[in-house]
Structure 1
Amino acid sequence: MTGEQRMDRQVADYDAPVRGDPITGERYYAKRWADAEWDKVWTRVWHIGGMAADLIEPGDFLTHHIGRESVVMLKQEDGSVRAFYNACLHRGYRLAWTEIGGAPQLVCGYHGWRYNPDGMLAHVQDPEDFAGGSPCGKHRLTEIACEVWGGFVWFNMDKDAGPLRAWLGEKVASHLEQWRMDRMTRVYAVVSDVPCNWKIIRDNFNESYHLPTLHPQISTVINDDHTDCVFHIHARTGHNMMRMKGLQPSARYDTRNKLDIPLAQALEYWGLDPADYRDTAMDARDAIIRRKRAVGAAKGYAHYAAMGDEEIVDYFHFTLWPNITFTMWPDGAQVLRSEPHPTDPERCLFDHWFIAHPIGDSDVVIGPNGPTPFEQVDREHIVFGEKTLGDVADQDLSVAIGQQQGLHSRGFRGGILANQEKRVQFFHEKLNDVCGIHD
């Protein structure tokens, strides 16, 4: 791929040039890459720490572990949230041990030191036995940047971190806000230790080239033809976006105008006669948009009022640098995140969440696994291969082990990418530049 090649249906402002750097296999397993990524990437970007809805009262907390680090985020008396490294100032013992919890103070289980929600040391054993008198009121847990946006609590370990919105970029932030994620509820959340480097999952979410092979079931209701997709690369931030038309068959097949069951069911749901589209299935999308505008609010889809026509029917796939993907459905959003394993570059932690709007008085929503109870859930840790990570996610990860093995091969020479995979190329070139490694 050369810098002159362009992505399909692309505007110049979002078509950042690429150099064609080789995407070496070593970056997926070498310690030098893992070390550089920790120093230059993970400690300098914004991370999702959890759901803001889980913090209700002062002292409620969330914890999130990334690499060997742990962060605790606490609700304050004024309603704000502050984040601190999850380590006692005395001897380094971890303070919070659950992902979601709450108490008037954080209490160290080793020597009983206590901290207020603002991080201030409030109690120690034998306070008179310290040089200079009691350390209480003089020391605070080490604080890091923390913000609430989109219904999530975010943190950043960089001492010089800029505002979250500046990191998101105004175009990405304002576009994502159309879906009103802050009003959604997390109804599905699983995480697993997966036997592949975190970047294998990133590569997968940075292209749609794999859809016909790994996800053939979507072709009757999502148009995966790359010439009908829209791709954006935001060069300054490193984020990118792909839009695929929803409620429209794939244009890559001769059968594209044949009406299949999922699309017929959608037409019926929105009060349209599938018989009218038996041989014109490609036209169903526009008809459903009109019906959603006409009767959406009455059917319980009030959130459509804040969204554009494309947003209420299509699938927008935002990948935030370096490792968070939001796949935006008309009525919800998937959060797909890969994070580094604490010690093994050939493993990672993969999160799959689904957050959704309530639909009228229904007690279910349609998610990546079909009908899903509309109730707030905690994050569930599962063993890879023993329980599903979601039907489509399982398909994505079905190739991860084989790819991790193949990237060790001397026969792999750096990849031969299609033009529609330009976001993969851009991701790795940015990683090269940020880590200061150019092979």
Structure 2
Amino acid sequence: MPATRPGDWLDPASGLGLGLDDVQPGTFNMTIPTDRYTCPDYAARERDAIWLRSWQIAGRVDEIPKAGDWKRYQILDQSFLIVRGKDDVLRGFVNSCRHRGNALCITETGNAKRGFLCQYHLWSYDLEGNLKGMLRENLAGPIDKTENSLLPVSVDTFAGFIFLNPDPDAVPLREYLGDDVVTLLEPYNIDQFTVVMDVKEAIECNWKVVMDAFEEGYHINGIHPQLLQVLHINPATARYRFFENHSVAMAPFEVQGASTQEQVEGMLALPETFPGTVAVIPRFQELLAPYRDDDGKVEFPDGVTARALLQQATREVLTGMGLDVSNLTDDQMVDNQGWVLFPNYFMTVRAGECHVIMSAPHPDGDPNRCIWHVASYMYLPEEFRDAVRAEAIVVDTPGSHKYFEALQQDYEQMPRQQKGLRNNRLDHMSLVKEEVVVAHFHSVVDRHMAAAQS
């Protein structure tokens, strides 16, 4: 096993991560204007400054596995197609016929083995976007086919996700993510994860309210009291890394000062919130057994902790399933690292599973509404993946879908915040130091908005 791993950044001795006290006052603006959540004019400027210029996740690679498979990606009033070519290359195009602008595809997914056919006037395109045929072509006049191919859009992949950037001048995806982000995420093997939950729903809040909610643990005491058994955001133990556009933060799954019994009971209850721990709990219980007395009470000798046993159980179970976790540290066996990939992707990831929150402006442009997309993924042997793969759900009736406990609590909270933000006299939010990731995120928003005006 390697002497050092990318996950070792959590060790203060590495000099790579920051503690909360290392973030000096004034590093980020902690006062956030509220008009960015409610103002239609601000939302319109965001469309051009952020959504039409940023790399954003449009799906998973395994959604379009065969030649001709395509999916549509919609952001506000802009529509794009992503298709797998006969050469196995993924390509993106503006979802408009070059003749009169008719939308080529109006459903979410499909297969176009023979290419795309515009139903309006029967112009046709191959999977590389080239104009191949026109109705009554001999009478069409001087139409240069080479000048009327579908308009290309930048598409690339990372960690099993398809990224799309509407900007014709977009920098390459790897440059946008940065070498550090790629290096830190690759050991999880997320490209081999399988979707086990996939839900989209319109929700009554701004897309940034969603991002803010998942970028801090300051709300856990108020909204998620059940998590306090295993997770307490302690400024002394939380670690951060900030990149040009993105960030990662970590708080250990361990409650300092809690009794051994409380720690154990909290970890045994983890499957209620983190389904990926279901397979690990039996091995965890086996490792606990030597330390239980006849009454079931657990007592550890010096050097043994519930956290260390959960780490051991996780590594043993995943390795026993033939999954590669060799480049992950013991901390990464149990600790969720919270990643923010600008503009709208939040992910908690630990060995064997990740949970993703994405939010995007509502297609009608109302800043008080957005589409939130929640998904969970698990690292499983290939022979089990099809059996657990979840179908995508689009919720049409608000409140009809029940999420797992912690997510349901956030779902109910976020519209309440939006209602408060709409009060005219509230012109700013005041962040506390523990919300430094939120502050960093808004500094990136500010930079992108300013760049579009320069």
On the 8 A contact 1:257/1:280 being kept in 2, the answer is no
**Equivalent residue for 1:273, pick from 288, 291, 295:** 288
2:260 and 2:78 mapped to 1: Cα distance? 49
Which consecutive unaligned segments of at least 5 residues does structure 1 have?
1-6, 365-372
- Give the whole-Å Cα distance in 1 for the aligned partners of 2:395 and 2:427: 36
More displaced, 301-310 or 84-93? 301-310
Which 10-residue stretch deviates more, 275-284 or 378-387? Answer: 275-284
Q: Which residue of 2 aligns with 1:352?
A: 374
Moved more, 111-120 or 225-234: 225-234
What's 1:39 paired with?
Answer: 48
C-alpha spacing 1:119/1:9, structure 2 compared with 1 (3 Å)? same
How is 1:381-392 mapped onto 2 (pairs within 5 angstroms)? 381-392=395-406
Aligned to 2:327: 306
Matched with 1:315 is 336
Is the alpha carbon distance of 1:24 and 1:136 closer, same or farther for their aligned partners in structure 2, counting shifts above 3 Å? same
State how 1:197-236 maps to structure 2 within 5 Å.
Answer: 197-234=206-243, 236=244
| CA drift at 1:409 | 2.1
Amino acid across the alignment from 1:201: V
**Structure 2 counterparts to residues 191-202 of structure 1, below 5 A:** 191-202=200-211
> Could you say if the C-alpha distance between residues 191 and 283 of structure 1 is closer, same or farther in structure 2, counting changes exceeding 3 Å?
same
SS at match of 2:97: coil
- Contact 2:344-2:358 at 8 Å conserved across structures: yes
TM-score (norm 2): 0.83
2:117 aligned residue (93, 101, 107):
107
Residue 355 (structure 2) pairs with residue 326 (structure 1): no
Partners of 2:390 and 2:227 in 1: how far apart? 27
Corresponding residue number in structure 1 for 2:309: 287
Once the two structures are superposed, what CA deviation does each residue of 1:331-373 show, in whole Å capped at 9, x if it has no partner? 1111210001122111001000112111597689xxxxxxxx6
Q: Supply the AA of the counterpart residue of 2:401.
A: K
Q: Is the counterpart of residue 374 in structure 1 residue 388 in structure 2?
A: yes
What is the deviation of 1:260? 4.6
Preserved CA contact (<8 Å) 2:58 2:162 = yes
For residue 307 of structure 1, report the CA deviation from its aligned partner.
Answer: 1.9
2:81 is the counterpart of 1:72:
yes
Distance 1:351 1:39 in 2: 22
TM-score normalised by the chain length of structure 1: 0.86
Instruction: Choose which of 305, 327, 335 in structure 1 pairs with 2:356.
Output: 335
8 Å CA contact 1:318–1:325 kept in 2: the answer is yes
- CA pair 291-397 structure 1, distance change in 2 beyond 3 A: closer
Distance 1:324 1:295, change over 3 A: closer
Aligned mate of 1:96, from 102, 105, 115: 105
AA at the equivalent of 1:278: V
Kept in 1: contact 2:20–2:433 (CA 8 A): no
Within the alignment, does 1:258 sit opposite 2:262 as a pair?
yes
Q: In the aligned structure 2, how far is the partner of 1:87 from the partner of 1:121?
A: 12
CA RMSD of aligned residues (A): 2.8
Looking at structure 2, the residues matched to 209 and 347 of structure 1 have their Cα atoms a distance apart, in angstroms, of 24
Q: Does 222-231 or 279-288 show the bigger shift?
A: 279-288
Residues in 1 aligned to 2:429 and 2:300: alpha-carbon distance in whole angstroms = 39
C-alpha distance in 1, partners of 2:226/2:116? 49
- Check whether the contact 1:188–1:353 (CA below 8 A) recurs between aligned residues: yes
CA positional deviation for 1:272:
1.0
Distance (Å, rounded) in 2 between the aligned partners of 1:396 and 1:374: 25
Q: Is the 8 A contact 2:264 2:306 kept in 1?
A: no
Instruction: Tell whether the 8 Å contact from 1:267 to 1:273 is kept in structure 2 after alignment.
Output: no
Which secondary structure does the structure 1 equivalent of 2:66 belong to?
coil
Q: CA deviation at 1:120?
A: 0.8
Contact 1:124 1:136 in 2 (8 A): no
Deviation at 1:189, TM superposition (A): 0.5
Fraction of identical pairs, as percent? 24
Between 1 and 2, higher relative CO (CA 8 Å, sep ≥ 6) is seen in: 2
The offset of 1:76, in angstroms, is 1.3
Structure 2 Cα separation of the partners of residues 280 and 414 of structure 1: 49
Contact (CA 8 Å) 1:28, 1:199: kept in 2 or not?
yes
Q: CA deviation at 1:435?
A: 1.3
Gaps of 5+ in 2: 1-16, 270-279
- Per the alignment, do residues 79 and 362 of structure 1 end up closer, same or farther by CA in structure 2, a change over 3 Å counting? closer
Is the contact between residue 341 and residue 349 of structure 1 (CA under 8 Å) also seen in structure 2? yes
Q: What corresponds to 1:20 in structure 2?
A: 29
Distance 1:31 1:313, change over 3 A: same
| Structure 1 residue identity aligned to 2:120 | Y
C-alpha distance in 1 between matches for 2:77 and 2:385? 39
Report the number of matched residues: 416
Residue 69 of structure 1, CA deviation = 0.6
How far did residue 424 of structure 1 move?
A: 1.4
Q: Name the amino acid aligned to 1:328.
A: V
How far residue 30 of structure 1 moved from its aligned partner, in angstroms, is 0.6
Cα drift, residue 17 of structure 1: 5.1
Question: Secondary structure of 2:429's match?
Answer: coil
Change in 2 beyond 3 A, CA 1:431/1:191? same
1:8 and 1:227 in contact (8 A); partners too: no
In terms of fraction of residues, the more helix-rich structure is 2
Structure 1 equivalent of residue 436 of structure 2: 422
Matched, 1:393 2:407: yes
TM-superposed deviation, 1:255: 5.0
Indicate the residue corresponding to 1:369 in structure 2: none
**Contact 1:8/1:420 (CA < 8 Å) preserved in 2?**
no
